[in-house]
């Protein structure tokens, strides 16, 4: 294990985190909330001290000896450390007094979950709200990817960066879109930034205040779901709701599709099976739920608007709400639960199992069923007319197993707190898949504050595991990671 | 610059390693997924799986906006087809193709434009030429020529009890009555550029530059041999053996080739009527003795297995063959072999990838560009040739007043076909050719990069 390199990466990320806090501090100072501003100041100081110690410890760190194992562990550790220190402003300012609550909130932010323990969001000060939403934005595309985009590349990086990208980016087979890692990371962040700015622009012309627009755009871009109002998006005009719907769907698309569009490879994007599945599932769900909701809302327009919004919000794992979908009939709620599991496209900012994996699982299953009927037939799984490597199929199956086991175990632990099964199961699903609101007592109008400390920790770990695709978090707790040979 | 590398075998991965240090976007194409994966884990490159001669794969790899294609698969035919296809898709593309089959070599040269080849490389022939040069000028482990042959850098190993061991560099020229400059030393696998008070030690590999006659004077006066080989024994009938034997025979040297496979013996016999081909396992010491290894002037081990070559070379040195040359196919850890008595080491893939890197650098910067670049000291040190032009700083200043970067040495200055070792009073003027040696980490791309930036 390359401990020094781990320490250095952690130190560098913390410096970035401190820099990210400066705008929040300035917002607090601008609205003369000196308590909040000071809490950011102290947090920045603490973070810088910790990062200084880490950087001192990392003297003489070498990139040699940095393999897949180190990539996994450093990503997992960095996310935990970043959340553990990122929650300091909430605690110091006293706006979220308990550390565990603040940790839960911050993890929920960085992992773009949007599950909150704050009873009344509108009581929080603006700087704190901004920081809460900003964690979504930076967590959506990944902090290490951001680091890769801005640090100068050394000539010989020996694959160091690929391990980091693979560990942090979602999807069954992560690759680069251009030969250079730095450029890949920059392209991703530039696309991300442009889309976010567009979102802000469309919200502002729709009459949303600038501060609300920025926070909501961060939440939409990272597919997070923290808002600034207690009723999420419900209080805004239909236009603003529709803009948010469209952008949620856009941020759930694999970002390399946008790159291909810019490179004028329209046909590839149009024929991309994952994208077709993603859009197909969205439209299919909208039609089914709309039919199921006949007579629930006054007009068809209202029904379709709410259904579209909720479907987009759940499948992209954003978690905004315009209406209390906990009141919908069971069939609609069941569809939403299914969407929670499927999730957005690989290579997007969304969570869940990912459409790409779902596609592989379905195709692999179909192949295996056929295999039973025609044992001698030679069959391969194809996606986008290309053969999928057996190793990737095996990995996807392993991922599904890990996914199911974690959900079962977390549900067991969380059930100790004595809520209904629907509450517990949906709480686990919607944190592990990074969505946010679940059903019943964790539904869109409620929050997670009622859960006990153990449950909050388990759910926090679940969020991290879900965002980082399980293995980096499992790697930290695996004994073979820390063994010397 | 965007470069596609098709085929990622031994040479392909060596080229990838070297080019990943340059400022290039590399995309690799290979049929084998494992090879691609391992390359992507080690270098900042992109991998495309597929047949490099098919349009779809090339399109995926971005041939349309690539600048250079390097076709390095194991099969000449695929390399040529790949090159033709890529050129058809992007007529502005430069192409480097590896051609190994001796039957094609001549026709490729005359059909270069038809096949759209910018440069054809033949690692085997290159290695043969390298070995031939070593045999022609014995005493050096390796030699690199610059400025159209007017300046050279040669490699020597300092043996135990040599007069050079324990000698400070400042006394070298006066003791041996010559004019040379030690520009790099490789000790314990680490290369550095020595200062004047540096003491040579036995076991060092030193890289010396100077005019040819001064270098031979150094050899004579230090007592390192100088007899040119007349009888050469080659173990293993590979393609390199064929090219080498051809060269040697035309130079009037008698050649004996040992090969255990009867079919290859016959093929070789057909191709080389003047050589004597003996069927037998060269790793068998009995046969080596019977074939008169004790009487030959040089022993070249060239079988396909590095291990066999090393063992045979140790035996050759042990029984006192004056010159031993070992071919290594996988020369990643050459310095590990430093202490073994195996004579000069020739690595075809390293030679080949050096040629390619040189081509890439020449493409990269046309202005103030390096004319040639040689990697010396196991690839740790670069020896680069530049031409001084009007934009060069510090023209006409005596060298002792010119601030040159640490780990960089101006080795020689050539003017009007004459080469002078750079000393404190030397000056350079526009039009001169300079040889610069750099062991630093920062790449030297233009001549002005060797100077320390002055903040005034």
Residues of chain B contacting residue A152, judged by C-beta atoms under 8 Å apart: none
Residue A322 counted as domain residue:
no
List the one residue out of A130, A93, A134, A76 whose CA is nearest residue A110. A134
CB atoms within 10 A of CB B91: 8
Alpha-carbon distance B344 to B325, whole Å? 5
Spatial separation of the C-alpha atoms in residues B230 and B227, rounded to whole Å: 9
Share of chain A above pLDDT 90, in %: 48
> By the 8 A CB rule, do B209 and B374 touch?
no
| Cα torsion angle, B37, B38, B39, B42, sign | positive
A110 has pLDDT over 80: yes
DSSP string, B63-131: GGG-SEEEE--S-HHHHHHHHHHHHHH-TT-EEEEE---HHHHHHHHHTTTTTT-SEEE-HHHHHHHHH
Q: For the residues A15-20, what does the mean pLDDT come to?
A: 93
CA distance B73 to B13: 11
Per-residue pLDDT reduced to its tens digit, A175-185: 777 888 888 88
The mean-pLDDT minimum among A19-23, B87-91, B159-163 falls in B159-163
CATH of B2-121, one of 3.40.47.10, 3.40.50.720, 3.90.1150.10, 3.40.190.10: 3.40.50.720
C-alpha B56: how far from its chain's center? 35
Q: What residue in A sits closest to B25 (Cα-Cα)?
A: A179
| pLDDT > 50? residue B423 | yes
Q: What is the DSSP letter of B451?
A: B
Lowest mean pLDDT among A75-89, A370-384, A460-474, B163-177: B163-177
Mind listing the pLDDT tens digit for each residue in B154-208? 888 787 777 778 888 888 888 878 888 888 888 877 888 887 778 888 878 888 8
The distance in angstroms from the start CA to the end CA of chain A is 10
Q: Give one DSSP letter per residue of A135-162, joined into a string.
A: HHHHHHH-HHHHHHHHSPPPS--TTHHH
pLDDT at A481 over 90: no
Q: What is the mean pLDDT of residues A248-277?
A: 90
Averaged over A379-399, what is the pLDDT? 87
Whole-angstrom distance, CA of residue A358 vs CA of residue B410: 62
Per-residue model confidence (pLDDT) at position A362: 93
Average pLDDT score over residue span A154-166 = 64
Average of pLDDT values for A459-475?
A: 89
Interface residues on B facing A, Cβ-Cβ cutoff 8 A:
2, 20-22, 25-27, 33, 40-47, 441, 443
The fourth-level CATH superfamily of domain B128-222 is: Regulator of K+ conductance, C-terminal domain (3.30.70.1450)
- Which of A261, A356, A341, A317 has the alpha carbon at shortest distance from A436? A317
pLDDT at A142 over 80: yes
Q: Identify the residue among A179, A387, A391 best suited for mutation to test binding to B, counting B beta carbons within 10 A and taking the highest.
A: A179
Q: How confident is the model at residue B390 (pLDDT cuts 50, 70, 90)?
A: confident
Helices A34-57 and A126-141, axial angle in degrees (round to 10): 40
Over range B369-383, report the average pLDDT. Answer: 76
Residues of chain A in Cβ contact (below 8 Å) with chain B:
67-68, 153, 155-159, 161-163, 175-176, 178-181, 183, 389
Q: Of B138, B136, B6, B161, which is closest to residue B70 (Cα–Cα)?
A: B6
By the 8 A CB rule, do A318 and A113 touch? no
The number of CA neighbours under 13 Å toward the Cβ of A138 is 25
CATH among 3.40.50.720, 3.40.50.2300, 1.10.10.10, 3.10.690.10 for B231-321: 3.40.50.720
In this prediction, residue A24 carries a pLDDT of 92
Give the pLDDT band of residue A159 (cuts 50, 70, 90). Answer: low
Helix (H) or strand (E) holding B36: helix B33-42
User: Mean pLDDT throughout A358-377?
Assistant: 91
Q: What CA–CA distance (Å, rounded) separates B213 from B217?
A: 6
| C-alpha span between B251 and B245 (Å, rounded) | 10
Q: Say what the pLDDT of residue B235 is.
A: 92
Residue A91 lies in a domain: yes
Does A160 score more than 50 pLDDT? yes
Q: What is the model's pTM? A: 0.81
In a domain, A159, yes or no: yes
Please check whether the domain covering B358-450 is classified as CATH 3.30.70.1450.
yes
Kindly report the CA angle at B145 between B440 and B350, in degrees rounded to 5?
A: 65
Each residue of A400-426: pLDDT tens digit? 999 999 999 999 999 998 889 889 999
The reply to whether A233 falls in a domain is yes
B278-325 pLDDT tens trace: 888 888 888 888 888 888 889 999 988 888 899 899 999 888 888 889
B454 or A379: which carries more pLDDT confidence?
Answer: A379
Structural domain including A102 reads: 3-250
Contacts of B46 in chain A (CB under 8 A): 175-176, 178-179
Residue A11 has pLDDT above 80, yes or no: yes
Nearest CA in chain B to A177: B46
pLDDT of B456 = 46
Give domain status of residue A79, yes or no: yes
Is the pLDDT confidence value at B152 over 60? Answer: yes
Exposure string of A137-161, with b = 16+ CB inside 10 Å and e = fewer, is: bbbbbbbbbbbbbeeeeeebbbbbb
Asked if residues B143 and B216 have their Cβ atoms less than 8 Å apart, the reply is no
Of A156, A158, A178, the CB nearest to B25: A178
According to CATH, where is 3.40.50.720 located in chain B? 2-121, 231-321
- Stated length of chain A: 485
Query: For residue B342, what pLDDT is reported?
Result: 81
Contact: B44, A181; criterion CB under 8 Å = yes
Helix locations, A142-237, DSSP H: 143-150, 160-168, 181-205, 210-221
- Phi and psi (nearest 5°) for A347? 75, 10
- A410 part of a folded domain: no
Cβ distance A458 to A407 under 8 Å? no
Task: Write the DSSP assignment of A53-69 as a string of letters.
Answer: HHHHHTTT--STT--HH
Instruction: Note the pLDDT of residue B299.
Output: 92
B361 Cβ contact list (under 8 Å, min separation 6): B22, B369, B370, B373, B445
Structural contact between residues B71 and B95, judged by C-beta atoms closer than 8 angstroms: yes
**Number of compact structural domains in chain A:** 1
């Amino acid at each position: 294990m390359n401990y020094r390199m781990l320490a250095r990466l952690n130190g560098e990320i913390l410096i970035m985190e401190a820099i990210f806090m400066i705008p929040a501090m300035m917002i607090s100072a601008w609205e003369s909330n000196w308590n909040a501003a000071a809490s950011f100041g102290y947090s920045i100081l603490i973070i810088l001290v910790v990062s200084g110690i880490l950087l001192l410890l990392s003297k003489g760190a070498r990139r040699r000896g940095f393999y897949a194992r180190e990539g996994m562990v450093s990503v997992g550790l960095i996310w935990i450390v970043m959340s553990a220190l990122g929650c300091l402003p909430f605690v110091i300012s006293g706006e979220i007094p308990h550390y565990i609550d603040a940790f839960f909130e911050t993890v929920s932010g960085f992992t773009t979950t949007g599950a909150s323990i704050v009873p009344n969001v509108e009581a929080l000060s603006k700087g704190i709200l901004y920081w809460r939403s900003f964690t979504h934005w930076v967590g959506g595309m990944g902090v290490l990817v951001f680091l890769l985009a801005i640090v100068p590349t050394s000539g010989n990086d020996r694959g160091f960066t690929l391990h980091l990208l693979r560990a942090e980016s979602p999807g069954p087979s992560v690759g680069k879109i251009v030969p250079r890692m730095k450029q890949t990371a920059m392209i991703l962040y530039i696309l991300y930034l442009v889309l976010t700015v567009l979102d802000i622009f469309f919200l502002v012309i729709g009459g949303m205040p600038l501060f609300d627009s920025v926070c909501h755009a961060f939440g939409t871009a990272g597919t997070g779901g923290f808002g600034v109002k207690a009723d999420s998006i419900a209080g805004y005009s239909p236009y603003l709701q529709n803009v948010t719907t469209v952008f949620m769907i856009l941020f759930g698309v694999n970002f390399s599709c946008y790159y291909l569009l810019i490179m004028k490879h329209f046909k590839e994007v149009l024929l991309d099976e994952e994208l077709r599945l993603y859009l197909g599932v969205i439209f299919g769900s909208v039609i089914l739920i709309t039919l199921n909701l006949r007579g629930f809302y006054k007009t068809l327009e209202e029904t379709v608007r709410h259904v579209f919004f909720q479907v987009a919000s759940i499948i992209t794992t954003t978690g905004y709400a315009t209406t209390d979908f906990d009141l919908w009939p069971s069939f609609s709620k069941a569809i939403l639960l299914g969407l929670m599991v499927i999730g957005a496209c690989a290579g997007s900012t969304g969570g869940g199992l990912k459409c790409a994996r779902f596609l592989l699982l379905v195709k692999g299953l179909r192949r295996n069923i056929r295999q039973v009927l025609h044992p001698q037939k030679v069959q391969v799984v194809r996606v986008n007319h290309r053969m999928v490597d057996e190793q990737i199929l095996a990995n996807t199956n392993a991922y599904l197993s890990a996914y199911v086991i974690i959900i079962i175990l977390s549900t067991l632990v969380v059930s100790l707190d004595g809520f209904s099964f629907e509450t517990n199961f949906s709480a686990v699903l919607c944190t592990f898949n990074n969505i946010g609101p679940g059903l019943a007592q964790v539904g869109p109008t409620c929050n997670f504050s009622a859960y006990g400390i153990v449950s909050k920790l388990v759910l926090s770990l679940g969020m991290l595991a879900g965002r980082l695709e399980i293995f980096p978090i499992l790697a930290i707790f695996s004994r073979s990671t820390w063994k010397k040979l | 610059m965007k470069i596609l590398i098709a085929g990622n075998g031994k040479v392909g991965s060596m080229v990838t390693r070297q080019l990943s240090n340059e400022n290039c976007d590399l995309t690799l194409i290979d049929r084998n997924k494992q090879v691609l994966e391992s390359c992507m884990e080690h270098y900042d490159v992109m991998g495309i799986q597929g047949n490099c001669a098919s349009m779809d794969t090339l399109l995926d790899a971005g041939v349309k906006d690539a600048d250079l294609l390097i076709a390095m698969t194991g099969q000449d035919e695929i390399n040529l087809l790949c090159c033709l296809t890529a050129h058809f898709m992007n007529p502005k593309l430069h192409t480097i193709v590896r051609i190994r089959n001796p039957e094609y070599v001549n026709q490729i040269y005359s059909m270069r434009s038809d096949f759209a080849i910018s440069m054809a490389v033949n690692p085997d022939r290159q290695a043969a030429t390298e070995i031939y040069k070593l045999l022609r000028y014995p005493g050096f482990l390796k030699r690199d020529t610059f400025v159209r042959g007017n300046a050279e850098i040669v490699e020597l190993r300092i043996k135990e009890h040599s007069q050079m061991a324990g000698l400070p560099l400042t006394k070298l020229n006066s003791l041996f009555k010559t004019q040379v400059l030690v520009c790099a030393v490789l000790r314990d696998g680490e290369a550095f550029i020595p200062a004047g008070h540096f003491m040579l030690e036995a076991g060092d590999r030193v890289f010396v530059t100077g005019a040819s006659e001064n270098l031979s004077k150094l050899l004579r006066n230090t007592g390192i041999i100088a007899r040119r080989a007349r009888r050469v024994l080659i173990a293993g009938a590979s393609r390199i053996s064929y090219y080498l034997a051809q060269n040697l025979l035309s130079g009037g040297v008698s050649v004996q080739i040992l090969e255990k496979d009867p079919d290859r013996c016959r093929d070789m016999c057909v191709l080389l009527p003047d050589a004597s081909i003996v069927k037998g396992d060269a790793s068998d010491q009995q046969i080596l003795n019977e074939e008169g290894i004790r009487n030959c002037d040089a022993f070249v081990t060239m079988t396909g297995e590095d291990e066999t070559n090393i063992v045979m070379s140790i035996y050759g040195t042990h029984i006192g063959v004056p010159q031993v040359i070992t071919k290594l196919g996988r020369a990643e850890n050459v310095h590990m072999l430093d202490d073994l008595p195996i004579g000069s080491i020739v690595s075809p893939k390293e030679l080949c990838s050096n040629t390619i890197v040189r081509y890439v650098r020449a493409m990269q910067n046309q202005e103030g560009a390096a004319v040639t670049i040689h990697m010396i000291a196991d690839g740790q040190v670069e020896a680069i040739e530049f031409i001084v032009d009007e934009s060069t700083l510090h023209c006409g200043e005596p060298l002792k007043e010119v601030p040159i970067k640490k780990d960089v040495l101006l080795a020689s200055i050539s003017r009007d076909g004459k080469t002078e070792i750079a000393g404190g009073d030397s000056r350079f003027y526009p039009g001169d050719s300079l040889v610069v040696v750099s062991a630093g980490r920062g790449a030297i791309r233009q001549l002005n990069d060797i100077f320390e930036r002055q903040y005034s």
